[in-house]
Chains A and B, each alone.
Chain A
Amino acid sequence: MASSWCWNCLSRLRPTPRALLPPSATPRISSAPFHSTAVHYAQPAKKKGNSLTVVKHRQSTSLRRKKKKVADRGGRPPAVGERKALRKRIVLSNPNALEIEGMLELSPETMVDSRLRGTVLGLPVPMIDQLRAVQAFKPKQGWSIFRRPGTVLRRDTIEMGRLFEHISGEGDEAQKGKVVKKIVTGMKGSGKTVHLLQAMAMGFLKKWAVVTIPDARELVSGDTAYAAIEGSNPLQYVQPSATSALLTRTVEANRELLASLKVSQKHPALKMLKPSSTLEDLAKLGFNDPAVSWRVFQALWTELTATAPAEGLEKDFKPRPPMLVAVDGLAHWMTESAYRSAEYKPIHAHDLAFVHHFLSLLKEGDSLKNGGLLLYATSFSNNPNPTALKIALDRLAARQAGISASSPEYPQLPAYSDADPRVLELFQPAEKAVSPLELQTLGGLTRDEARGFMEYFARSGLLREIINDQWVSEKWSLSGGGIIGELEKFGRRVRATASVSK
């Protein structure tokens, strides 16, 4: 708008009469704006009030977000059981890893050779199927980074090898047919499960009967069928499908042995059995028919622990070999199971006939008549951690160290503890009896063993380091004193990228 002063002559102009001006659609602006653009060129004003500012009556004021649409990737979802199969897959060989020249195999000679201590011995190739059958390998153990599966020969392994020799009757005749009962504990990653695997491998080498329970949890987690045994007091429960699975595992792994042994006892409950049938035939009866699997298992057990034939069946009797019983994850058997009784009360794991059978082997007396080894390992990766088991094992260690039960140093129950009396009773020795149970605690490797173990990684092409005493010593300390699981992490870690990132 023009000023009403004429700046040239400083005289006041007469204002133009309003009527002469062209009519405008926009209203007249009386004050000067910041800019001179006409109002009608301006963008139309936004509507006031978006969804956040205008709140309807009784509407929540919390933040509302748009849901992200899940992109349809197309394709079908994985088939039933496919993902589980992938998760449980065990790969035992890696063609990219270097083959180690002159790698020795585990054999009856090498497993007791103390000169080989610290070397990694390969598992014999024909035995791998047997070990797979008893589920000795676990999915997360890292077998898949080497050309072939192998285990390190450590002090505990050599001692166990000697034990196998003694029980088999080689060397010391007095120890033949002895029963050794051990509970294997140790820190996380100390190699308890692999210790069991080595035991199984030795069992197969020595032609023992190997019975394993690869995961104790499966029997108490409520995932297999169960049924009450009529007339048992206190009421016990059988697990038919788990028993079938055990029979299948045992036969697949010990086929040669079971096929060579004939039935030597009378089994009135199993009518279809002939005197000429082998133990393999006997076990096969329980494969497909879960209804009889428990009876078949009991019959097989009496056969394997038989010392003499029954009357009339002497003809084909062969002496039974010693047995190895290996259980992994013992702690799961020391609590109440996920099963419920008909009155909806939780069933204690010790009331399951299957579990009870294997736990009763730990008690005094020769539970394995032909001798053998019981190895029951605890686990740290999947542990219900019952108080009672912890105290019972502490007490066992104390007794082993020569502390008497009346001594003040003997581990006591904490005040107000709810420790399970049944578990404590299981590990309590009878009056004045020497408990046959031993506690074996796996510790770390020694420096020499650690060096052998790390050299195995280097020779497989996984570890690109010059392995000298100083380097091994450093890693030995970093791994908490040679805990083998921690050492493995140093071995398989790719160092090149770590140094670049610094």
Chain B
Amino acid sequence: MVFILGVNFPERNLLKKSLETFFGIGNNSSGRLMSRFNIHPTCRVGELANKQVLDLTAVLSDMKIENDLRREVLNDIKRMKETGTYRGRRHALGLPVRGQRTRTQIKTPVKLNRMERRL
């Protein structure tokens, strides 16, 4: 098991997939992070040298990810609701925000856009 930013990852897991478990890190960010430290794309967590783990953790801790990022997104939505913008209203009503049609296929906004929004 290897600790990266306080999370324990099994050694067999792919590093790229492991990095992408953090909220706010996707395909692009994880690829850039790995190439920055010259880690090959199919690297397993167990293959990392100690220094590389520390480097990764140092960079990750400077990034806005996980709860910080969640809080920021929620604050943005809250601000829109409070200022009464159209987008804020759509968020509050549980309807799609970005001009999609509402005749069909709005399961996701119905599920997500509510007063107490969770990410």
Contact = CB atoms under 8 A, between A and B. Distances in A.
A228 B41 CA distance: 15
Contacts of B12: 80
Contacts of A140: none
A130 B75 CA distance: 66
A305 B73 CA distance: 63
A58 B104 CA distance: 7
A226 B43 CA distance: 10
B32 A344 contact: yes
Secondary structure class of chain B's binding surface, majority of residues: loop
Interface string B17-52: 000000000000001100111111111000100000
B35 A344 contact: yes
A353 to B, nearest CB: 13
B35 A340 contact: yes
B40 A224 contact: yes
B28 to A, nearest CB: 9
Contacts of B37: 342
B43 A338 contact: no
Contacts of A224: 40
Contacts of B38: 226-228, 237, 342
Contacts of A225: 39-40, 43, 47
Contact of A338 (B32, B41, B47, B104): B41
Given A58-B104, A80-B12, A225-B47, A342 B41 contact: no
Contact of A340 (B31, B42, B47): B31
A342 B40 contact: no
Q: How many A residues are at the interface, by size bracket?
A: 10 to 19
A340 B39 CA distance: 9
B36 A222 contact: no
Nearest to A58: B104
A294 interface: no
A344 B41 CA distance: 12
Contact of A222 (B32, B41, B104): B41
B35 A223 contact: no
Contacts of A222: 40-42
B14 to A, nearest CB: 12
B47 to A, nearest CB: 7
A222 B39 CA distance: 9
A223 B42 contact: yes
A264 B50 CA distance: 37
A344 B37 CA distance: 10
B35 A341 contact: yes
A287 interface: no
Nearest to A341: B35
B104 A223 contact: no
Given A58-B104, A225-B47, A342 B36 contact: yes
Contacts of A237: 38
Contacts of A342: 35-38
Nearest to B39: A225
Interface in A51-76: 58, 60
A346 to B, nearest CB: 10
Interface in B41-67: 41-43, 47
17 contacts: A58-B104, A60-B104, A224-B40, A225-B39, A225-B43, A225-B47, A226-B38, A226-B40, A339-B35, A339-B40, A339-B41, A340-B35, A342-B35, A342-B36, A344-B31, A344-B35, A344-B36
Interface of B: 12, 31-32, 35-43, 47, 104
Q: Can you list the 8 inter-chain pairs with the closest CB atoms, starting with the nearest? A: A340-B35, A222-B41, A344-B32, A223-B42, A222-B40, A344-B35, A342-B36, A227-B38
Given A226-B38, A341-B35, 17 more contacts: A80-B12, A222-B40, A222-B42, A223-B40, A223-B42, A224-B40, A225-B40, A225-B43, A226-B40, A237-B38, A339-B35, A339-B40, A340-B31, A342-B35, A342-B38, A344-B32, A344-B36
